[in-house]
Amino acid sequence: MLTGFARSLALTFITGVNMLLAVLILFMHALCFGLGVVFLYPATVRLVRVRAAQARDLAKAWSGVQIATPYRPAPPPPMPGRDGWYREGVQRYRTSLIPRFNLDFNWVLKDPATWRDFAWLLTDPLVGLAIAAAPLFMIGGGALLVGTGRPLEIVAGLLLLAASFWAAAEAPGLHGRWTRLLLAPTAKARLAGEVRHLNRTRTDAVDSQAAELRRIERDLHDGAQARLVAIGMTLGAAEELVEKDPAAAKALIAKVREASAASLIELRQVVRGIHPPVLAERGLGDAVRALALDSPLDITVRVDLPTQPEAPVESAAYFVISELLANAGRHSGARAVTVDISHRGPALRITVTDDGYGGADPSRGSGLRGIERRLAAFDGVLALHSPLGGPTTAMVEIPRALAVDPCSVLPQWRRTMMNISWGLFWLPLFPQGLVPAFLKLFQVPERSWFLALYLPAGLQWPVILGMISLGGGMVAFAARSLCVAKRAEREAIA
């Protein structure tokens, strides 16, 4: 409760700061559009966006309200022409200062989120103050009523003081929802963001596929194809020597046999690089265990999956693990690696930890960036923790990768109680509750196996009502547990 009052007091102070900032912003707008000092406008917008970002972070920290960033992406910087001049329409500029300012000005001016930020900043001193300061006013009013000494005022003051505790607990959440009302992206902005994300991931997927095809072509050209050409030439030489020098021909044929075996091994490696057969036959867990057996590292694999992912997700996860293990072997000096494949609701989670010397950085290598591009096609993310000296931990999460029973997110005791409630609620509700109540109301002498009707008259109705309440409570508990499971599943998907 004290935390709620402290947060209400802090929100009241923050709302006062917003009031001062709103006055400053109005003054800046008067300068920008009234006196023509437009060069101040982008800085004004950025100041408001900084304050709005702080409000989003505060709503998440204090009330758990997630508010996504709604702004359009910044425009790319202007590029000079072949003559070194910057063009904007029919105008030409020696430097990029004015074209860059015009781009930034149009960007912030035409972004709907800019005006929603301004609307929030101007209205928060009214709405936000009413929400944040309500518990404090309730305490003050309750104390004044109690201090009058009159019985009715004392009762009203005590009720107001009691209600202030509830209001203090609810104020941060209500303030967070008010903040989300104006600072969250609109449906149109979310759709535009999803389109941009899809375009980016599609481009990354196409680039990744093209790079993979080039790698396969290079491997075939430099490996198997060269060996097959050499085999053909060796067979031609052996054919010419069969009659003249059978021993030399036999030696050449032996070399052909060795070369064909090496070509077969290379072709198997190429096929494994495209899609390993064990992945299609045995699933992700066994494919990673087979990968561990071929590695010189000491690899421990733990798998906890309720179902197998879809084939494209499974293939992406396999190659991500393969790349992480290759990085651990080539760059980190690791000797032991732990691979943990688990799930969080319908999300597939992979954790790879090695005992190397750390220092991995996605910006310095193409391997980790390739992993990020591969995951982006499935909305997956890569989180890397690699301090100098190690260990290195890479966590991969791919949402919506598994078909999971929603009830699996519940604790074991709650799943057990939910199953018992669904299975047995009818027993107290109907044969020991509603049916005896009907017989009792209509004075039916039949007692049969109805427990309450064998008790003394003073206990019959309490037991009947208790049985009905027990059955109804079991139904309510089971339904509530199922709702909790569904909500947890939706949150995990989101």
* Most confident range, picked from 96-100, 178-182, 483-487: 178-182
Contacts of 436 (CB under 8 A, 6+ apart): 450, 451, 452, 453, 460, 464, 467
DSSP state of 224: I
> What's the pLDDT at 340?
92
| For residue 259, pLDDT beyond 80 | no
Q: How far apart are CA 365 and CA 170, in angstroms?
A: 48
pLDDT range class, residue 106, cuts 50, 70, 90: confident
Helix (H) or strand (E) run with residue 170 in it: helix 151-183
Identify whether the C-beta of residue 86 lies closer than 8 Å to the C-beta of residue 80.
Answer: yes
pLDDT range class, residue 363, cuts 50, 70, 90: low
Q: Please state whether beta strands 381-385 and 336-344 pair in parallel, antiparallel, or not at all (unpaired).
A: unpaired
Mean pLDDT across the stretch 157-175?
Answer: 83
> What's the pLDDT at 270?
65
> What's the pLDDT at 240?
73
pLDDT range class, residue 274, cuts 50, 70, 90: low
Mean pLDDT across the stretch 102-110?
Answer: 85
Burial label, 124 (beta-carbon count in 10 A; 0-12, 13-18, 19+)? buried
| For residue 221, pLDDT beyond 80 | no
| For residue 247, pLDDT beyond 70 | yes
Lowest-confidence range among 1-15, 240-254, 340-354? 240-254
Count of Cβ atoms closer than 10 Å to residue 136 Cβ? 17
- DSSP lists the bridge partners of residue 301 as 339
Among the four given CATH numbers 3.40.50.1820, 3.40.50.720, 3.30.565.10, 3.40.50.920, the one describing domain 283-398: 3.30.565.10
Q: How far apart are CA 96 and CA 60, in angstroms?
A: 39
Burial label, 73 (beta-carbon count in 10 A; 0-12, 13-18, 19+)? exposed
Q: How far apart are CA 63 and CA 170, in angstroms?
A: 9
DSSP state of 11: H
Mean pLDDT across the stretch 190-218?
Answer: 71
> What's the pLDDT at 491?
55
Tens of pLDDT, residues 444-472? 887 787 778 888 888 888 888 888 888 88
- Give the domain ranges of the chain: 2-72+111-185, 200-274, 283-398, 406-493
Tens of pLDDT, residues 389-425? 778 888 998 887 776 555 556 677 888 888 888 888 8
Amino acid at 358: G
Q: pTM for this one?
A: 0.55
Identify whether the C-beta of residue 163 lies closer than 8 Å to the C-beta of residue 134.
Answer: no
Q: Compute the mean pLDDT over every residue in the chain, rounded to the nearest whole number.
A: 80
